[in-house]
Amino acid sequence: MTQTPSDSTPSPPQAASHRRRKSPVDRRVKIAFVVILVIASAALWLRQRRDPELIGWGKDLAAALQQAKADNRLILVLFTDAPMTYDDKHAVKNVVTTDRTMSALGKLSYVRVHLNIEDNTAEAKTYKVESTPTYLLLDSSGRELRRTSGLMNDVTFIKEFLSGPGP
């Protein structure tokens, strides 16, 4: 049996030859772009997770007590979690480091100390810190004079905590 031209199936069109073949450079550029995007996203994520710094705040309560005794000053203690929670970061950025609060703290000349409850469990237990952020005002012997905790703004902090009833 012989095949006639009408019985044969037509060959598929040569569409593949019309497609533009991607060069290896195009592929490398795309991979490089994705890698840069991933690295930039990771850097941004890590930066946002980093705890804000408290400049001018000590990290040692015993040293703060000694300094307070020597200078006859009171001690302002801020307890936070480690790593800082949203509320802790809010306390640092929007309460204790604002210009208003820094001005008020400068006039009061408190010894300032920042303690995270993970590294300072004994102090957290001594002062019964159950949540963060917790602010304490201590005399030079370590006796608690005033306490507050939770979210607030700098105006409330100054008016109700720093300028509250005298020790």
What pLDDT does residue 27 have? Answer: 81
Q: Can you give the three-state secondary structure of 30-64, one letter per residue? A: HHHHHHHHHHHHHHHHHHHHCCCCCCCCECCHHHH
Q: Quick check: is 25 in a domain?
A: no
Nearest partner of 138 among 80, 86, 67, 87, judged by Cα: 67
What pLDDT does residue 20 have? Answer: 67
Q: Quick check: is 34 in a domain?
A: no
CATH number, domain with residue 134: 3.40.30.10
What pLDDT does residue 18 have? Answer: 58
What's the whole-model pTM score?
0.70
129 is written with which tokens? Answer: 């810190």
Specify the 3-state DSSP secondary structure of 79: strand
Q: Quick check: is 129 in a domain?
A: yes
Beta bridge partners of 144: 138
Total tally of structural domains belonging to the chain:
1
The range of the structural domain enclosing residue 80 comes to 61-162
Q: Quick check: is 152 in a domain?
A: yes
What pLDDT does residue 52 have? Answer: 74
What pLDDT does residue 40 have? Answer: 80
Q: Quick check: is 20 in a domain?
A: no
Is residue 92 within 8 A of residue 54, CB to CB? The reply is: yes
Quick one: 35 exposed, middle or buried, by C-beta within 10 A (0-12, 13-18, 19+)? exposed
Where would I find the beta strands (DSSP E) of the chain?
75-80, 111-116, 134-138, 144-149
pLDDT in tens, the chain (167 residues): 555 555 555 555 555 555 666 677 788 888 888 888 888 877 766 665 566 778 889 999 999 999 999 999 999 999 999 889 999 999 999 999 999 999 998 888 899 999 999 999 999 999 999 999 999 999 999 999 999 999 999 999 999 998 865 55
What pLDDT does residue 153 have? Answer: 94
Q: Quick check: is 55 in a domain?
A: no
Is residue 145 within 8 A of residue 77, CB to CB? The reply is: no
